[in-house]
Amino acid sequence: MRGSHLRRLGLALVTLLIATGTLAGAALADDERYTPGSSGLGDPFFPLAGNGGYDVQSYDLDLDYTPATRALVGRAFVTAVATQDLDAFNLDLRKQDEEGHFYAVSRVAVGKDNGPTLKDMAFSHEGQELTVVPRPKLKTGETFVVLVEYAGTAHEVTDPDESIEGFVPTDDGAFVVSEPQGAPGWYPANDHPTDKALFDISITVPEGITALGNGVLLSSETENGKTTWEWSHGMPMAPYLATATNGVFSLTVTELAGGIPSYVAVDPRRTNTAVLAHIPAVMAFFTDTYGPYPFDATGAIVDFAPDVGYALETQTKANYSNTPGESTLAHEIAHEWFGNAVTLSSWPDIWLNEGFARLSEWLWLEHRGIRTAQQSFDLQYARPATSSFWQTPPAALPGPEVLFSSPPYDRGGMTLHALRGKIGDMAFFQLLRTWYVENRYGNVTTADFIETAEEVSGMQLDAFFDVWLFQPGKPTSW
Ligand SMILES: [Zn+2]
C-alpha cells in the first residue's frame, strides 16, 4: 500500500512540476506528514483508553437526562491542541449496542471555535472508538474544537472486577463515577489520566431533581418543568474524575476557610449523616499536613445507590453510594491531594492513589486520637505470612481485575508507613509535601516517587522499595 501510494504521489509531483514549476516538493512532504492519531495510549490494563495526536484543553458538556426512561441526550464541545499533523483522530464514547444501551452519534463538527467556524465532518463509530476525519486536516500546534451530538440510553459499564461504574441509573436519577473506564459511558473523552483538562458540565433534569457537577455551581434555572444545573471546574482534571450525579437531594452550600465553597448533597433517605460535619476539619488537617488545598470547591454527594456499593473521589466532591464512615470520608478527601491533583500516569500504578489515601485515613485517625498510624499498620501486618494478601506486590499488579483489591490500598499504605519509620518523621512529611507541590496538577510514576524519596531523605532506598512494592511475600526486614 505504502509503495503504490508513493508512486502515485511521484506521478503527481512530476505533473505539478510541469504544470507550475513551483513548490511541488513541499506538497509531497505536506501530504505525507498527516497521519491518524492512535486509537489508544497503550495503558497496560486498558490499551484502548485515551487516544493519540492531541491534547484536550477543555470539555464543555451539555447533558439532558430523563431518569424515568434513562434517556440521555448529549452535546459536547471538546477543545484540543493537535500534537501531530492529523488526518483523523479518535474520541472514546460507547456506541449504542444491540440492547440499545449507550449512544448513537448524530453529528460531529470541527472548527476553530464553538461558533461559526464549525463544519460538519465525516466520522465512524465502532465499540468505544469515535473516529473523526477533519478537513482541512489539523496541523501540529493547532487548537481546534470538536462538537459531538449524541443520544441514547444510559447504562452502567462493567469492570474487569465485575464492579459497575459510568453513568449508573438509580431509582431517582443517576450515580456518576468513572474510574477507571466509565467516562466513555456518558461523554466523548480522551479517556486517559494523563490528559487533564478543564470542565464545564451542564445537566438538565426534571424539576425537583438536583444535578451535581465538578467545581462550582454557576446557576440553576427552571423552565417548562426542567431545571438546568450549570457547574464549572476551571482546574485540571483527569476524565475519570468527572461527575454528573443527579437525583432527589438536599443541597447545602457553606464556605470553608480560604473562601472554598463546600457543596454537600444528601439523598433524604440517608438520615444518619453526622459524619459530614467533619469535612471542614478533614480539609484543614490535610492542608496542614500536605499543603494548600488544590481545587476551587469541596463537598460530598451522599446518594442511595446500593448497586454500586463504593465511594469515588470525583474531583471537588466525592460520590458516596451510602453514608460513609469517618475513615472513608477522610480517604476520599485526601484523594484531592493524592489521586486528583497528583495523578497516576498508568493504571498499574494505582497504589500511588490508593496507598496515599489509605495512609491518610491512618493519619486522620491518629490526629483524632482514635488509634495511631502504627496501630493501623500493625492491624494489617498481623495477616499471616501464608495469606494470599502478601502474594500481590502493590506496584506489580498482574491485571486490571485486582486494580481495587486490598494490596494497592493496604500494602500501599503500609509501604508509606514503613517508609516513615525508615527515614524519620521530619524527612517523611517533607517528602509528602514535596511530592505534592512538585507534581500538583500533573501525573507521576512509581519511579518518580522512589527518586523523590531518595532525594528528600538522602538515603539509598532501592532495597526498601523492592521489598515493599515489587516482591511477593510478607516483608520481614527493610
Ligand atoms: Zn481511594
Of 187, 213, 242, the residue that ends a domain is 242
* Bridge partner list, 313: none
Q: Is residue 477 part of a domain?
A: no
**Residue 288 structural domain:** 249-336
Phi and psi based region of residue 339 (left: phi greater than 0; alpha: psi -120 to 50; beta: remaining): left
- Between CA 134 and CA 261 the distance in angstroms is 41
Condensed to tens digits (0 to 9), the pLDDT of residues 230-278 reads 999 999 999 999 999 999 999 999 999 999 999 999 999 999 999 999 9
Please report how the helices 326-334 and 279-290 are oriented relative to each other, as an axis angle in degrees rounded to 10.
50
Same domain, 22 and 55: no
The CATH number assigned to the domain holding 159 equals 2.60.40.1730
Å from CA of 163 to ligand 1 middle: 15
Per-residue b or e along 155-193, where b marks 16 or more CB atoms closer than 10 Å to that residue's CB: bbbebeeeebbbbbbbebbbbbbbbbbbbbbbbbbbbbb
DSSP codes, 302-344: E---TTT--EE--TTSEEESS---HHHHHHHHHTTTBTTTEEE
> Can you give the pLDDT at residue 21?
39
Residue 18 shares a structural domain with residue 69: no
> What's the domain count of the chain?
4
Q: Is residue 209 part of a domain?
A: yes
Range 268-289 average pLDDT: 98
Domain assignment present for residue 259? The answer is yes
Q: From the CA of 411, how far away is ligand 1's center (Å)? A: 13
Closest CA to 197 of 166, 226, 235, 230: 235
CA distance 297 to 316: 5
Q: How far does the centroid of ligand 1 lie from the alpha carbon of residue 354, in Å?
A: 5
What is the grid cell recorded at 156? Answer: 452502567
pLDDT at residue 32, as a whole number: 78
Q: 331 and 426: one domain?
A: no
Vertex 339 angle, CA 83 and 156, to 5°: 85
Distance (Å, whole) CA 326 – CA 273: 10
Contact of 292 with 437, CB cutoff 8 Å: no
Output the domain CATH number for residue 315: 3.30.2010.30
pLDDT cut 90: percent of the chain above it: 93
323, 348: one domain = no
Q: Is residue 97 part of a domain?
A: yes
Q: 476 in a domain, yes or no?
A: no
CA distances from 30 to 4, 9, 25, 82, 89 (A): 18, 11, 9, 16, 18
Kindly give, in sequence order, each residue whose CB lies less than 8 Å from that of residue 84, ignoring residues fewer than 6 positions away.
35, 37, 52, 53, 140
Q: Which among 285, 317, 336 is the end of a domain?
A: 336
Q: Give 29's pLDDT tier (boundaries 50, 70, 90).
A: low
Whole-number Å distance between alpha carbons of 431 and 449: 9
With cell 486498558, the residue in question is 46
pLDDT at 197: 98
Evaluate whether residue 475 is within a structural domain.
Answer: no
Tell me the pTM.
0.93
CA of 409 relative to ligand 1 center, distance in Å: 8
Both 286 and 412 in a single domain?
no
Q: Which of 243, 120, 95 is nearest to 179 (CA)?
A: 243
* Contact partners, residue 422, CB within 8 Å, separation at least 6: 457, 459, 461, 464, 478
Give yes or no: residues 52 and 168 share one domain.
yes
Confidence of residue 2 (pLDDT cuts 50, 70, 90): very low
The mean per-residue pLDDT over the stretch 410-422 comes to 98
Q: How far is the CA of 207 from the centre of ligand 1 (A)?
A: 33
329 Cα to the center of ligand 1, angstroms: 10
Name the domain boundary from 288, 307, 336. Answer: 336
Does residue 478 lie within any of the structural domains?
Answer: no
- Cα(330) to centroid(ligand 1), Å: 10
Distance 426 CA to ligand 1 centre (A): 26
Q: Kindly give the distance from the C-alpha atom of residue 427 to the centroid of ligand 1, in angstroms, as a whole number.
A: 25
**Distance (Å) from CA 356 to ligand 1 centroid:** 8
CA of 288 to the centre of ligand 1 (A): 20
Same domain, 200 and 103: yes
Q: 313: CA distance to ligand 1 center in Å?
A: 7
Do 300 and 442 lie in one domain? The reply is: no
Shared domain check, 69 and 160: yes
Please indicate, yes or no, whether residues 362 and 423 belong to a single structural domain of this protein.
yes
Confidence at residue 12, expressed as pLDDT on a 0 to 100 scale: 42
Residues 26, 39 share a domain: no
Distance from Cα 92 to the centre of ligand 1, integer Å: 24
Closest among 441, 442, 450 to 469, alpha carbons compared: 450
Same domain membership, residue 358 and residue 315: no
319 pLDDT more than 70:
yes
Tell me what pLDDT residue 114 has: 87
Where do the DSSP E strands lie in 9-98? 35-36, 54-66, 71-82, 86-92
Q: 280 CA to middle of ligand 1, Å? A: 19
In a domain, 412, yes or no: yes
Instruction: Tell whether the model's pLDDT for residue 399 goes beyond 60.
Output: yes
- Alpha carbon of 357 to ligand 1 centroid (Å): 6
CATH number of the domain within which 391 lies: 1.10.390.10
